[in-house]
């Protein structure tokens, strides 16, 4: 909003300093600062309001240390995170950018699902909250919106090299007066002339379902080629394959974040680390020079996502001010489902979703610990008549609590693991 307003006023009055708003790094910095102010200053007011309305957490007795003290702690604090993300984004990001629009939709959509779940738990006194099948329906619905838009929207493109020395003709109707000539090849396609130290090559922005593969030299994988065994018509089913991958990724990551949110500050701090990494990945993917140097997919206009990522990181860090041990507020499903959805959709849009198992390794392990525990219990109960467990309790963080580790130590060590995984993720940009 402010971006468009200042740009418009600059055209009318040409006031000094207005050009700063054009820089993504400047707006990202402002977005993070504003997000921190919103979450820390106004977060306390929301906490007091939630406490006044007796919107408290009902903690099931799992025999864990400190559970009694947590009883009645305000929940639905994810509203603080949502406000800290949306307000700076709306004010400072370009609202005509399809990537920003999709991230706003994701935040609101997942926030509504989480809010409904918390509302049922708190006000309807139903400890189970929103039925799991309805959560899945909501996650799949968002996945279909994201996947369909990415597949068909004309502004969501990737840049691909045509050839080193193509046969081209210069467009006779190209604009003059200092503007670059448009170059059109023999097929009538508009080409982009890219000058490098080792020569000149031509590229074009195209619709594609390709994505980056980590640790692989020619790191581009096309979802459509999953069905290549069907014959020459396999590309007709590219949309189906792409949508299936998007559904799996968004559902898995949002549920993983939800499961990780079990002890004070764990999901919040881990998500902040992931957010910083995604901001860096979005910046290099949206910068044609850096993307070419790293030999990753250049995604036009995706650099604007850095502003959103900065707001997201600021919101997580600001919320951590109140969510660190001992927590004054819990994010609830309002926050955890939103955080997971944001991370998943963000990674998909910058074509780095195959890095999620590494970057979101903490979420993955937490998810797997639950799957392993439940599966093994059911299997042993059926085979031996008595259910057996792999962990003392799942998710994994509760296993360590049962072993006697303090919450703060568990969270700190999970953060350290998250930082290591973030570094590994960044290293994959060059290590192939």
* Nearest partner of 271 among 284, 281, 283, 258, judged by Cα: 258
Tokens of 376: 């093994």
Q: Is 190 helix (H, G, I), strand (E, B) or coil?
A: strand
- Residue 222 CB-density burial (10 A; 0-12 exposed, 13-18 middle, 19+ buried): middle
Burial pattern 340-362, b for ≥16 Cβ within 10 A else e, equals bbbbbbbbbbbbbbbbbebbbbb
Whether the CB-CB separation of 117 and 333 falls below 8 Å is answered with yes
Measured CA angle at 110 (ends 104, 114), to 5 deg = 140
- 264 marked as binding residue: no
- Distance between CA 263 and CA 373 in Å, rounded? 19
393 C-beta neighbours (distance < 10 Å), count: 18
> With 0-12 CB in 10 A as exposed, 13-18 as middle and 19+ as buried, what is 128?
exposed
CA distances from 236 to 240, 242, 317, 391 (A): 9, 12, 44, 45
Read off the tokens for 152.
């068909």
- Half-sphere exposure of residue 330: CA atoms within 13 angstroms, side-chain side: 24
Contact present, 410 and 274 (Cβ < 8 Å): no
According to DSSP, the residues that pair with 92 across neighbouring strands are none
Q: Is 258 annotated as a binding residue?
A: yes
Q: What is the DSSP string of 220-286?
A: EEEGGGGGGGG-TTGGGGHHHHHHHHHHHHHHHHHHHHHHHTTSTTHHHHHHHHHHHHHHHHHHHHT
- Rounded to a whole number of angstroms, the distance between the first and last alpha carbons of the chain is 40
Alpha helices in 53-157 (DSSP H): 67-70, 78-92, 98-122, 132-152
Report the alpha-carbon angle 153-157-161, nearest 5: 155
Task: Enter the DSSP assignment of 180.
Answer: P
Q: How many Å apart are CA 241 and CA 235, to the nearest integer?
A: 10
Output the known binding site. Answer: 258, 333
Output the known binding site for Mg(2+). Answer: 258, 333
């Amino acid at each position: 909003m402010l971006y468009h307003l200042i740009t418009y006023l600059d055209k009318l009055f040409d006031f000094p300093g207005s050009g700063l708003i054009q820089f993504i790094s400047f707006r990202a910095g402002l977005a993070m600062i504003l997000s921190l102010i919103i979450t820390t200053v106004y977060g306390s007011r929301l906490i007091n309001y939630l406490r006044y309305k007796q919107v408290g957490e009902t903690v099931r007795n799992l025999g864990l240390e400190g559970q009694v003290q947590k009883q009645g702690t305000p929940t639905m604090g994810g509203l603080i995170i949502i406000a800290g993300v949306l307000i700076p984004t709306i004010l400072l990001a370009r609202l005509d950018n399809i990537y920003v629009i999709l991230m706003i939709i994701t935040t609101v959509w997942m926030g509504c699902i989480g809010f409904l779940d918390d509302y049922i738990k708190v006000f309807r006194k139903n400890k189970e909250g929103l039925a799991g099948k309805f959560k899945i329906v909501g996650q799949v619905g968002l996945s279909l919106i994201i996947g369909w838009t990415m597949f068909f929207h004309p502004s969501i493109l990737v840049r691909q090299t045509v050839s080193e020395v193509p046969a081209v003709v210069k467009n006779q109707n190209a604009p003059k007066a200092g503007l670059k000539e448009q170059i059109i090849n023999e097929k009538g396609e508009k080409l982009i002339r890219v000058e490098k130290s080792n020569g000149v090559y031509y590229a074009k922005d195209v619709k594609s379902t390709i994505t980056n593969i980590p640790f692989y030299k020619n790191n581009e994988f096309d979802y459509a080629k999953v069905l290549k065994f069907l014959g020459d018509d396999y590309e007709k089913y590219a949309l189906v394959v792409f949508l299936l991958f998007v559904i799996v990724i968004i559902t898995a990551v949002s549920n993983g974040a939800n499961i990780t949110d079990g002890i004070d500050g764990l999901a919040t701090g881990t998500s902040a680390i992931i957010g910083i990494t995604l901001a860096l990945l979005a910046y290099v993917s949206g910068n044609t020079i850096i993307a070419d140097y790293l030999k990753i997919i250049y995604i036009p206009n995706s650099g604007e996502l850095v502003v959103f990522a900065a707001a997201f990181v600021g919101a997580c860090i600001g919320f951590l001010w109140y969510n660190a041990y001992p927590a004054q507020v819990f994010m609830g499903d309002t926050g955890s489902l939103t955080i997971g959805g944001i991370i998943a959709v963000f990674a998909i849009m910058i074509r780095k979703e195959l890095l999620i198992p590494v970057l979101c390794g903490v979420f993955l392990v937490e998810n797997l610990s639950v799957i392993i525990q439940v599966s093994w219990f059911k299997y042993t109960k059926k085979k031996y008549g008595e259910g057996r467990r792999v962990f003392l309790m799942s998710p994994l963080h509760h296993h360590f609590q049962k072993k006697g580790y303090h919450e703060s130590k568990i969270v700190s060590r999970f953060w350290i693991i998250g930082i290591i995984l973030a570094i590994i993720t960044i290293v994959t940009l060059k290590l192939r």
